[in-house]
Structure 1
């Protein structure tokens, strides 16, 4: 039976390191469709498909972050049998953080690295007006401001009526999130930000340093909130560099066993 969390196929057995990727609000696993070709050998890119989008468009989307984190942690747990990292962009970055916290509470293996992209530090109060209960026109305008949805799609009324429930649910996830203080994660953290991001300015990223006891670094990428797409190769180079130790160890083991 097909695993709905992995629409492109379940993680394989040949990977030395798995990279689980979480989408932004309104996005799907297809946001990472070009990443496998950018990844080095034995680093397997594993985009997750959340309910209410992609191949799961018929499922009701989740509207709160912690139930979403619980569900994603459960989906990842069977594949934590080897080193893995987690990457998330925008909503996906906050989700990646809470998923890692959930895995720690359950006593499960933690990622070797956490990558948070275009997401403000979790303890910062949200300042943008909530839109998840606003009229459709206001939700669409918010999407235009963020800049991640092509204008031709926003102008496609039939498509937008199909997608708006998921977009609203994702905005609800972000707008109802309440940070709960906890001890820092023992996981190295890389935080990405955009030079011209209108939603998450660089100053809103510094607080992530307080969320790890294993070291944090900040990488600024040219672009707006959705630099994720044009800068994919740049992001992958940083990710591969962070995973290099695990990949090298796996290659040494393979040579010894050859």
Structure 2
């Protein structure tokens, strides 16, 4: 049965490693559509499609972390077991961390590594930005200021009306997030940040080190909050490809 949650770009039935990608606030799985072209053929890009996007546009949005991650965990556990790297951008970093925490004790689906980008460490809690409370016009201005939203969406009121509910829900997800104490993850965590990202400081990225009892790395790349979709995305993908190669060598 085809999963509503997980989209392949493209399906690779013979893949030996899965890259499970979580989008940032307001974004859809399609942000990862081009990644397969730049990654090894034995790695399958499997992007998470949250409710309120694409074919799931009319589904109820999640505004709290636990119900979202519970449902996503169920969807991942229904997949064939495969060595998996979890990657998250921005809000997707938090969702990826909570997903990895839930899957850690699974005998078949425990992730092999967590890679996060452009979000402060979970222990530091929410970014504390109550954008979800803004009126539509003010929320649209915030999106313009942050960048990353396609210009055609911002320029067309009918597209913006469709996009704002998921953006609002995702900001509420982030704002209401509360970290609960737990053991550090027994898998390596790789963290990436944009040198021009004004939403998160390098020490906040470095704090991810506390969430792993295995290896840790932090690399700052040129670009703003959306560096994974810019020129620095090539460097990021190279690192993800190396992670996949390491997993294949030890498989």
Compared with structure 1, are the counterparts of its residues 129 and 93 closer, same or farther at alpha carbon in structure 2 (3 Å cutoff)? closer
Aligned structure 1 segments of 4 or more residues deviating by more than 6 angstroms: none
Structure 2: distance between partners of 1:7 and 1:40: 18
Cα deviation, residue 10, structure 1:
8.7
Q: Secondary structure at the match of 2:227?
A: coil
Which deviations, in whole Å up to 9, do the C-alpha atoms of 1:116-158 show, x marking residues without a partner?
A: 1111111214454301122112211221121111344213111
SS in 2 for 1:205: helix
CA contact (8 A) 1:42 1:247 kept: no
Displacement after TM superposition at 1:16 (Å): 0.9
User: Residue in 2 aligned with 1:144?
Assistant: 144
On the 8 A contact 1:101/1:185 being kept in 2, the answer is: yes
Q: How do 1:26-41 residues align onto structure 2 when only pairs under 5 Å count? A: 26-41=26-41
In structure 2, what is the equivalent of residue 50 of structure 1?
A: 50
How far apart, in 1, do the equivalents of 2:127 and 2:166 lie?
22
Structure label with greater radius of gyration: 1
- The answer to whether the 8 Å contact 1:16/1:42 transfers is yes
Cα distance, 1:44–1:8 mapped onto 2, change above 3 Å: closer
TM-score between the two structures when normalised by the length of structure 1: 0.90
Hey, what does 1:22 align to over in structure 2?
A: 22
Which range is displaced more, 238-247 or 206-215? 238-247
Contact 1:3 1:9 in 2 (8 A): no
Gaps of 5+ in 1: 251-258
Instruction: Give the alignment's Cα RMSD to 1 decimal.
Output: 1.9
2:185 match? 185
Q: Which residue of 1 aligns with 2:156?
A: 156
Gapped regions of structure 2 (runs ≥ 5): none
Contact 2:19 2:43 in 1 (8 A): yes
8 Å contact kept, 2:127–2:174:
no
Q: CA deviation at 1:2?
A: 3.2
Change beyond 3 A, Cα 1:186–1:80: farther
Does residue 205 (structure 1) correspond to residue 210 (structure 2)? The answer is no
Q: Does structure 1 residue 218 correspond to structure 2 residue 221?
A: no
How many residue pairs match? The answer is 250
Deviation at residue 219 of structure 1 after TM alignment: 1.3
Does the aligned pair in 2 maintain the 1:29–1:48 contact within 8 Å? yes
* Counterpart-to-counterpart distance in 2, 1:103 and 1:245: 21
Please list, as runs of the form range in 1=range in 2, the aligned pairs for 1:109-128 lying within 5 A after superposition. Answer: 109-126=109-126, 128=128
